[in-house]
Amino acid sequence: MKSKFIAVIITCILLSNMGLTQTTIIEDFKPSSLNQPGQEYPQVNSQGYARFKIIAPAADSVRVSLGLGGRGGTKLKQMPDTSWMGTTEGPMDEGFHYYNVRIDGGKFNDPGTLNFYGSVRWESGIEIPAHDQDFYALKNVPHGNVVQVLFPSPSTNTSRRAFVYTPPGYEKSKSKYPVLYLQHGWGEDETAWSNQGHANLIMDNMIAEGKIQPFIIVMTYGMTNEIKFGGLRNFKIEPFQTVLVDELIPYIDANFRTIAKSSHRAMAGLSMGGMETKMITLNKPDVFSYYGLLSGGVYAPADIKDKSKVKLIFLSCGSKERPDSVKSAATALKDAGFNAVSYISENTAHEFQTWRRSLHELAPLLFK
User: Binding to its own copies by residue 119, rule CB under 8 A?
Assistant: no
User: Binding to its own copies by residue 28, rule CB under 8 A?
Assistant: no
Minimal distance, residue 30 CB to its own copies, in Å: 18
Identify the residue among 25, 85, 120, 365 touching its own copies (CB under 8 A). 120
Query: Residue 364, preceding bond cis, omega within 30 degrees?
Result: no
Estimate the share of the chain in helix, then strand, then coil, as percent rounded to the nearest 5: 25, 25, 45
What values do phi and psi take at 227, rounded to 5? -95, 120
What single string gives the DSSP state of each residue in 308-329? GG-SEEEEEEETTS-HHHHHHH
Minimal distance, residue 166 CB to its own copies, in Å: 8
Residues 65, 21 contacting (CB under 8 angstroms): no
Identify the residue among 11, 16, 148, 225 touching its own copies (CB under 8 A). 148
Closer to its own copies at the Cβ: 46 or 82?
82
Please give the residues from 36 up to 65 whose contact with its own copies meets the rule CB under 8 A. Answer: 36-38, 54-61
Closer to its own copies at the Cβ: 103 or 279?
103
Number of residues that bind its own copies (CB under 8 A): 43
Closer to its own copies at the Cβ: 186 or 290?
186
| Cβ-based neighbour number of residue 309 at 10 Å | 15
Q: Which range, of 125-133, 144-152, 206-214, 264-272, touches its own copies by CB under 8 A?
A: 144-152
Minimal distance, residue 226 CB to its own copies, in Å: 14
| Cβ-based neighbour number of residue 368 at 10 Å | 10
Number of C-alpha atoms within 13 angstroms, CB side, residue 290?
22
Q: Which range, of 17-25, 99-107, 269-277, 346-354, touches its own copies by CB under 8 A?
A: 99-107
Identify the residue among 34, 92, 114, 340 touching its own copies (CB under 8 A). 114
User: Binding to its own copies by residue 152, rule CB under 8 A?
Assistant: yes
| 95-99/121-128 β-pairing | antiparallel
Minimal distance, residue 224 CB to its own copies, in Å: 12
Close Cβ partners of 87 (under 8 Å, ≥ 6 residues apart): 25, 49, 50, 51, 52, 74
Q: Which range, of 66-74, 120-128, 174-182, 275-283, touches its own copies by CB under 8 A?
A: 120-128
User: Binding to its own copies by residue 147, rule CB under 8 A?
Assistant: yes
Identify the residue among 25, 85, 146, 365 touching its own copies (CB under 8 A). 146
Closer to its own copies at the Cβ: 251 or 314?
251
Residue type at 297 in one-letter notation: G
What single string gives the DSSP state of each residue in 152-217? EETTTTEEEEEEEEE-TTTTT----B-EEEEE--TT--TTHHHHTT-HHHHHHHHHHTT-S---EE
The Cα 21–Cα 121 span in angstroms is 36
Chain centroid offset of residue 32 CA = 18
Minimal distance, residue 294 CB to its own copies, in Å: 23
User: Binding to its own copies by residue 106, rule CB under 8 A?
Assistant: yes
User: Binding to its own copies by residue 108, rule CB under 8 A?
Assistant: yes
Identify the residue among 11, 16, 158, 319 touching its own copies (CB under 8 A). 158
Please give the residues from 180 up to 239 whose contact with its own copies meets the rule CB under 8 A. Answer: 229
Torsion-angle region of 40 (φ positive above 0: left; ψ -120 to 50: alpha; else: beta): alpha
Residues 179, 214 contacting (CB under 8 angstroms): no
Minimal distance, residue 198 CB to its own copies, in Å: 12
* Residues engaged in binding its own copies (CB under 8 A): 36-38, 54-61, 82, 103-109, 111, 114-115, 120-122, 138, 140, 143, 145-152, 158-159, 171-172, 229, 255-256
